[in-house]
Chains A and B, each alone.
Chain A
Amino acid sequence: MKLQPTQTAVGGQQAKKTGIKGAARQKVLAFASLIILILVFSLLSGNFFRFDNLVGIMLSTAVIGVLALGSTFVIITGGIDLSVGTVMTFSSVMAGVFITYWNGPVWVGVIGGILAGSLCGLVSGLMIAKMKIPPFIATLAVMMITKGLSLIISGTKPIYFTDKPIFNKLTMGSIPGWEIPNAVWIFLIASVIAGFILTKTIVGRYNFALGSNEEAARLSGVNTVFWKVVIYVMTGTFSGIAGIMMASRLNSAQPALGSGYELEAIAAVVIGGTSLSGGMGTILGTVIGALIMSVLTNGLRILSVAQDWQTVIVGLVIILAVYMDILRRRKNKS
């Protein structure tokens, strides 16, 4: 092509820069709320800002955090996955089957458990992308199915991993010299990987494309059915990882656990500024969202706020966080 360039186009650098600045400011804001929260609790109680308590917070964030990472992907497509909590349980039960029932090696159990999660994601993905069942319904069904299966397979009883102490070490052990449990590292690594997938790979770019205008993406030659399935498989895989972490931490697969976790994961994603209508969101936001949730629960517990009031307060915080995000967006627009 030999079209003469004109003077109208200004260098791309400029806008790229302002774009990053805008995004950075959003993260700084979310980060600031987290810091404020930590400061407030530190002032109110001397027990809050102590190394072991902070490690405890990170540890309790780890499982929900990994679930939330996975949920971020589907939520950015404009979908939702209600099954992440019970898929997590299903994965830990499957790990129990491989390791305890069949006496298999630990690594088989770990990989098998994670793949069980991926498989659930595949099922949801196919129902949603191919059969066009709305995500809410499809994943609701998968949630009930996995919940039931976990109970059936385990005979409603916990499966213990006491024969294989190494399994517990996976998350509760730590690198010698560091007093931070592996679970925290796993969460951090998973976050980096998720962030990388979302911003640097094709799946990530298509993820945003699906969320912002699926039909336009399809007409650009994007195989929307395929990529949507891929995204649900990713979410399932993250749930699988969370399942293994959960089982390892409790040193047992608890078949009755898991319902309700999906809502906490969604809450973390939303507090992190990802829009439920799709098309925008960040992994860093989700990580901060998950941290805000557990700092809050932990802080309230240290201040001996009653369990039921804790739930009420978390609910209020969700409203506040999301409303602040909406206000900020409105300001950016005008």
Chain B
Amino acid sequence: MNALLRLEGIEKSFPGVHALKQCKLELLPGEVHALVGENGAGKSTLMKIATGVYTKDAGRMVYKGEEIELPNTRAARDRGISMIHQELNLLPHLTIAQNIYLGREPRKLRCLVDDHEMNSRVSRQFEKMNLKLDPRMLVSELSVAKQQMVEIAKALSFRSEVLIMDEPTAALTETEIQDLFRMITQLKQQGVGIIYISHRMEELQQISDRITVMRDGAYVDTVETMNMDVDQIIRMMVGRELYEMESPTSFSPNAEKVLEVKGLSRGRELQNIHFNVKKGEILGFAGLMGAGRTEVARAIFGADPVDHGEILIRGKKAKIRGPHDAVRLGIGYLSEDRKRFGVLVDMDVASNIAIASYKRYRNMAGWMKEAHINRTAEHFVNSLSIKTPGIGQKVKFLSGGNQQKVAIGKWLTRDCDVLIFDEPTRGIDVGAKSEIYKLLETLAAEGKSIIMISSELPEILRMSHRIIVMCEGRITAELSAEEATQETIMKYATMRSQVM
């Protein structure tokens, strides 16, 4: 079969970083081609070159037998190559439909936007995707998962022949992933070639035909998915053995209750939330998208107001008027939405790591202790294996997974007693993921309390001492590590309240 798209000998350098070295990739029509590699391996960069976001320094790009140059994204899209980016790129103050049709709005009388047509087109698209969303909603009101679905809908609406998906499932839960896979299968039958980047190994088996592995900006190999198992792929990616997840470290169930939440409520989003977390415990929060887990975390952290409810820290009622109070009381919150809330992309790695802890790094007069900050930053760059040319690099130039590690480093620097990690391993490669699991266990063993919100059930099951399941703003179950299985969690996660 003739290749739909072929990349050969692609080279790309950024100041201080040789991001791609002689990279290649071949995509057949009707194929789902997975692209895997560690954080910072160069996957996104290679795909950005294939869609005209970056221009290559050297190499060839052959599309349908013809050598092409892509000076910009428009040129790529006109040829039928489009991409769902790893970072969400929607305009928050426009509606869903306005975002999807931005720059190519259906018109009437040549100069008026035909909103009606636009909204109904989007509705039809959503129906096909089994997505219940009103196209007239503002994007700023959507959760990350829903924004991700909108990005997918947008890419699908281009009717492309090559569709590149950069970690489309990082923010999704099981049901939406299955919907997405159904869409992918349909596109495949229509002969669309799909390049699929993911760190979720189990997905590759399910959806991909071939896999290309990259390491440190270089091509490693392309293999048939059928002939490989997950361990073999991981070994090709990281070139070393991984930390094996064990069952959670033990902790005493009689340990002190560090944080207690009582009757937290806000409208329909949070209904009478009641739970506690003990010293040295890892408490998992499971649920489907929109179940209200992030809302609970943000409410505890003081990021959003609540109607009622109280929060007790070591048995004492805490007054949390905003995140600064929460942080002062020893609570840290890693946001699920990295780009918007997690990191300051225009600032450097060192400032990001220190941002929650500056009180510690200043003297009486308010001067910063630069040397001290830099030492801490260097320490976390090493211990979290953050791939960056240095601590002075702006965070926006790091790969997605490395940005996530910077956000984690920020809270480790702060040394909180209670850490709320909302999707901590989102966009993180398998190697780093196991490092983070190990890190969470070490923190728990040191007596920190950890609340881990995650949409990946295997992760929740293996890490947590206790699991809370939420559905539609309510806690529907509290399960011990022994009782919890994928099935029980899913049962409670879909236990919708009776319609009265």
The answer to whether B383 and A221 touch across the interface, beta carbons within 8 angstroms, is: no
Residue from A1, A8, A212, A219 within 8 A of B301 (CB atoms): A219
The answer to whether A203 and B383 touch across the interface, beta carbons within 8 angstroms, is: no
Chain B residue numbers with a CB within 8 Å of A220 are 323, 327, 355-356, 410
The answer to whether A221 and B326 touch across the interface, beta carbons within 8 angstroms, is: yes
Q: How large is the interface on A (under 10, 10 to 19, 20 to 34, 35 or more residues)?
A: 35 or more
Which residues of B are at the interface with A, using a C-beta cutoff of 8 A? 15-16, 40, 55, 301, 303, 322-324, 326-328, 332-333, 335, 340-348, 350-351, 354-356, 358, 362, 365-368, 370, 374, 377-378, 381-393, 410, 412, 414, 435, 438-439, 442-443
The answer to whether A212 and B324 touch across the interface, beta carbons within 8 angstroms, is: no
- Expressed in whole angstroms, the minimum distance between the Cβ of A12 and any Cβ of chain B is 4
Q: Which of A11-53 contact B (CB under 8 A)?
A: 11-20
Return 28 A-B CB contacts under 8 Å, by A number: A1-B442, A2-B442, A3-B383, A3-B385, A3-B435, A9-B388, A10-B389, A12-B377, A14-B390, A15-B388, A15-B392, A15-B393, A16-B392, A18-B389, A201-B362, A205-B351, A208-B346, A213-B340, A216-B343, A218-B303, A219-B303, A219-B335, A219-B341, A220-B327, A220-B355, A221-B356, A223-B322, A280-B346
The answer to whether B346 and A18 touch across the interface, beta carbons within 8 angstroms, is: no
The answer to whether B323 and A218 touch across the interface, beta carbons within 8 angstroms, is: yes
Is A209 in contact with chain B by the CB < 8 A criterion? yes
- The 3 residue pairs across chains A and B that have the minimum distance between CB atoms: A15-B390, A221-B327, A212-B346
Chain B residue nearest in CB terms to A227: B324
The answer to whether B387 and A8 touch across the interface, beta carbons within 8 angstroms, is: yes
Starting from the known contacts A1-B442, A226-B324, 4 additional A-B residue pairs (CB-CB under 8 Å) come to: A6-B382, A9-B387, A217-B355, A221-B323
- Expressed in whole angstroms, the minimum distance between the Cβ of A217 and any Cβ of chain B is 7
- Per DSSP, are chain B's interface residues mostly helix, strand or loop, or mixed? mixed
Chain B residue numbers with a CB within 8 Å of A226 are 324
Chain B residue nearest in CB terms to A22: B15
Is A158 in contact with chain B by the CB < 8 A criterion? no
Chain A residue nearest in CB terms to B355: A220
Chain A residue numbers with a CB within 8 Å of B368 are 200-202, 205
Chain A residue numbers with a CB within 8 Å of B366 are 201-203
Chain A residue numbers with a CB within 8 Å of B362 are 201-202
Residue from A12, A17, A206, A279 within 8 A of B374 (CB atoms): A12
Is A222 in contact with chain B by the CB < 8 A criterion? yes
Give CA–CA (A134, B366) in the complex, Å. 28
Give CA–CA (A17, B327) in the complex, Å. 33
Give CA–CA (A215, B304) in the complex, Å. 12
The answer to whether B346 and A213 touch across the interface, beta carbons within 8 angstroms, is: yes
Is A155 in contact with chain B by the CB < 8 A criterion? no
The answer to whether A212 and B323 touch across the interface, beta carbons within 8 angstroms, is: no
Is A176 in contact with chain B by the CB < 8 A criterion? no
Of the listed residues A1, A6, A216, A334, the one surrounded by the most CB atoms of chain B closer than 10 A to its CB is A216
- Expressed in whole angstroms, the minimum distance between the Cβ of B179 and any Cβ of chain A is 30
Give CA–CA (A10, B55) in the complex, Å. 26
Chain A residue numbers with a CB within 8 Å of B438 are 3
The answer to whether B356 and A18 touch across the interface, beta carbons within 8 angstroms, is: no
Chain A residue numbers with a CB within 8 Å of B327 are 220-221
Chain A residue nearest in CB terms to B385: A6
Chain A residue numbers with a CB within 8 Å of B340 are 213, 215-216
- Expressed in whole angstroms, the minimum distance between the Cβ of B70 and any Cβ of chain A is 14
Give CA–CA (A16, B385) in the complex, Å. 18
Give CA–CA (A9, B344) in the complex, Å. 20
The answer to whether B345 and A212 touch across the interface, beta carbons within 8 angstroms, is: yes
Chain A residue nearest in CB terms to B15: A18
- Expressed in whole angstroms, the minimum distance between the Cβ of B334 and any Cβ of chain A is 9
The answer to whether B385 and A9 touch across the interface, beta carbons within 8 angstroms, is: yes
Chain A residue numbers with a CB within 8 Å of B412 are 1
- Whether A216 contacts B15 in the complex (CB less than 8 A), given A5-B383, A9-B386, A16-B392, comes out as no
Q: Which of A190-238 contact B (CB under 8 A)?
A: 200-203, 205-206, 208-209, 212-213, 215-223, 225-226
Give CA–CA (A219, B294) in the complex, Å. 13
- Expressed in whole angstroms, the minimum distance between the Cβ of A120 and any Cβ of chain B is 23
The answer to whether A8 and B323 touch across the interface, beta carbons within 8 angstroms, is: no
Chain A residue nearest in CB terms to B326: A221
